[in-house]
C-alpha cells in the first residue's frame, strides 16, 4: 500500500513539474525573437482577441502545453536533421529522403497532438472572437469575416 501511495505521489509531482517547466518554456519562447510559428500564432491570437476570450483561449493551451511540448521538440529536431542533410557534402539523396519523411512524420504527430487542444480552446472563444481570428488569419486583418467586398 505504501509503495502505491509513493508511486502516485511521485507521478503527480512529475506531472506538476512538467507543467511548470512547460509553462516556463512557453513564456520564454513567446518572448524570444526566434519563437516557433506556433508560439507566435498563439501570442498573436491572444493580442487580437477580446480580453475574456484571450484568457479562456490561453488557459486551455497553457493547460495542455506539456502534452504537446515533446512533439514540438521532436519536430524541431527532425527539421534540424533535414536541414543538415540538405547542406551535407557530399549530398546524399537517400539520407535526405529519410530526413524529409521523418520531418513529415514529426509534423503529423504534432498536428495530431495539438488539434484537440486547438478545437477546445476555440470552443471557449466567443463567435465574435472566432470571426476576428479567421479574419486575421486568412486576410491579415484587411477585412472582417463575412465581408466579401474585396
State the pLDDT confidence band at 46, using cuts at 50, 70 and 90. Answer: confident
pLDDT for residue 145 = 42
- Residue 17 forms part of a structural domain: yes
Is residue 133 within 8 Å of residue 144, measured between CB atoms?
Answer: no
Is residue 68 within 8 Å of residue 114, measured between CB atoms?
Answer: yes
Report the range out of 16-25, 61-70, 81-90 with the highest average pLDDT. Answer: 81-90
Q: Grid coordinates in use for 38?
A: 506556433
- Residue 66 forms part of a structural domain: yes
pLDDT for residue 144 = 45
Distances in Å between the alpha carbon of 136 and those of 9, 88, 131, 133?
44, 39, 9, 5
Rounded to two decimals, the pTM is 0.61
Q: Grid coordinates in use for 127?
A: 463567435
Domain that residue 129 falls in: 2-139
Q: How high does pLDDT run on average in the chain?
A: 78
CA gap 19, 40 in Å, rounded: 20
- Residue 147 forms part of a structural domain: no
First to last CA, the chain: 68
* Length of the chain in terms of residues written: 150
pLDDT for residue 50 = 93
Residue located via cell numbers 465581408: 147
Give the CB-side neighbour count of residue 13, counting CA atoms within 13 A.
6
Q: Grid coordinates in use for 112?
A: 495530431
- Residue 150 forms part of a structural domain: no
Structural domain count, the chain: 1
- Residue 145 forms part of a structural domain: no
- Residue 108 forms part of a structural domain: yes
pLDDT for residue 38 = 77
Amino acid at each position: 500500500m505504501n509503495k502505491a501511495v509513493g508511486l502516485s505521489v511521485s507521478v503527480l509531482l512529475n506531472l506538476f513539474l512538467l507543467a511548470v517547466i512547460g509553462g516556463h518554456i512557453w513564456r520564454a519562447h513567446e518572448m524570444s525573437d526566434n519563437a516557433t510559428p506556433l508560439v507566435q500564432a498563439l501570442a498573436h491570437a491572444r493580442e487580437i482577441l477580446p480580453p475574456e476570450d484571450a484568457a479562456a483561449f490561453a488557459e486551455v493551451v497553457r493547460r495542455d502545453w506539456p502534452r504537446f511540448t515533446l512533439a514540438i521538440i521532436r519536430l524541431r529536431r527532425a527539421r534540424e536533421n533535414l536541414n543538415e542533410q540538405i547542406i551535407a557534402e557530399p549530398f546524399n539523396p537517400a539520407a535526405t529522403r529519410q530526413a524529409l519523411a521523418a520531418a513529415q512524420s514529426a509534423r503529423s504527430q504534432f498536428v495530431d497532438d495539438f488539434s484537440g487542444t486547438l478545437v477546445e480552446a476555440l470552443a471557449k472563444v466567443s463567435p465574435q472572437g472566432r470571426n476576428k481570428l479567421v479574419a486575421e488569419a486568412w486576410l491579415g486583418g484587411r477585412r472582417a469575416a463575412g465581408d466579401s467586398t474585396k
